[in-house]
Amino acid sequence: MYGLMFPGQGSQFVGMGKSFYENFKIVKETFEEGSDLLNQDMKKLMFEGPDSELILTENTQPAIVLLSTALHRLCSDVYKSKIHVCMGHSLGEYSALVANKTLLFGDALKSVKMRGRAMQKAVPEGQGAMLAVLGADNESVEHICKWAETTTGLKPLEAANFNAPGQVVISGRAEIANFLKDNFKTSTLAQSIKAKFIPLNVSAPFHCSLMKPAQDEMESVLKNIKFSEPQFAIIQNVTALETTDILTIQKNLISQISAPVKWVQSVNRAKELGVKTLIEVGAGKVLSGLVKKIDSSELTPLNIETIEDFKKLEQHFGS
C-alpha cells in the first residue's frame, strides 16, 4: 500500500521547483495559476528570492503548498489510484487535502496565506521561540517543559512536534526557552534526563497555546470554505488517526494551529493501516529522513526532490 506525505514550513529554499517548472507543462501551469490566485509572482519569489522574503511566514506557506500541489499534479498520473492515505506535516496538511480533493487548490492557497499572517501576528516578534530537543523521550520532554515553567513561574513551554524518536520540538515563550537552554545542564533534572537543545530559526512559536489567536482567526476563515468528500483518507496531525469525515477534517485543521504535530504517531498509524511506501511530495526530503528514523525496516520513503527522483518514481510504478 502507498501513502502520500507533504512537507511543512522549514522545507523551503530559494530555487525550489525550478527544474520541474522548466521541464513540465503541468508544473508551469500550476505556478501560473497560483500566482494569479494570490496576485503575486510566486515564480520570482521561489526561484529568485531573496531568502529574507521567502522565509516570511505569509510567503513560505503558500509557496510550499503551491510546489506540493504542482508536483502532486505531475505525479498523480504516475501513481494513479494506488494511493490509500495521505498526511501532511503541519502546513503540509493543506497540501494533502488538495491532493485528496477535500479542498480546492485556490481555497487552500488563499487560506494558508491568511494562516501565515495570522500565525505571525499572534505573537510579537522576539517573544516566542522553538527548540529542538534531541536525545530525550516524549515523557522526559514533558517533564523538561514543566520544570522550566515551574522554575521560571512563566507559561507556556509545550511539546510542538513529535518528529522522530528522540527528536521533539518544543515551543512557547522565548524567556522560558532561553532559560531552559542556558540552565538545564546544571539542574538536578539533568542528572536523570539527557537532552540537547537546538534553537530553531523561526519567526513565531508554532503549535503551542500562544497560537490560540491565530487558531480563532483561522476558524472563521475555514468555516467559510467548502470541504468536499475526500478521494482517500487523511491521517491528521492532531489525532494521528485516519478520517474521511468532512466535519472532523475541518475541526482538526483548525485545532492543529495550537496543537502538537503527532508525526511519529501518524507515520506509525499509516504502517498499521498497511502502508509500506510513503511518497514525499514537495520541497526537500525532510519527511523521508524522519520516516527512516521512525521505522526503516518496514517503511520505504520515496521523494521527488529532483527530476531524476521523478524518473525513479516512474520506474517504480512501471510508467
User: What is the radius of gyration, based on Cα positions, of the chain?
Assistant: 19
Sheet holding 128-134, edge to edge: 157-164, 167-173, 128-134, 196-199
Q: Which of 72, 207, 266, 288 is catalytic?
A: 207
Distances (CA, A) of 237 to 87, 173, 253, 296: 8, 22, 8, 21
Listed in sequence order, the residues at least 6 apart from 298 whose beta carbon sits closer than 8 Å to its beta carbon are 271, 276
Distances (CA, A) of 203 to 15, 52, 55, 126, 197: 21, 11, 9, 8, 18
Examine the residue annotation and report whether 35 is marked as an active-site residue of this protein.
no
Which amino acid is located at 315 in the chain?
Answer: Q
Sheet holding 233-235, edge to edge: 242-243, 233-235, 83-88, 2-6, 277-280, 300-303
Examine the residue annotation and report whether 207 is marked as an active-site residue of this protein.
yes
**Dihedrals phi, psi of 148, to nearest 5 degrees:** -65, -40
Q: Which of 90, 95, 140, 203 is catalytic?
A: 90
Nearest to 49 by CA among 84, 98, 13, 88: 13
At residue 61, the 3 state secondary structure works out as helix
User: Which residues are tagged catalytic?
Assistant: 90, 207
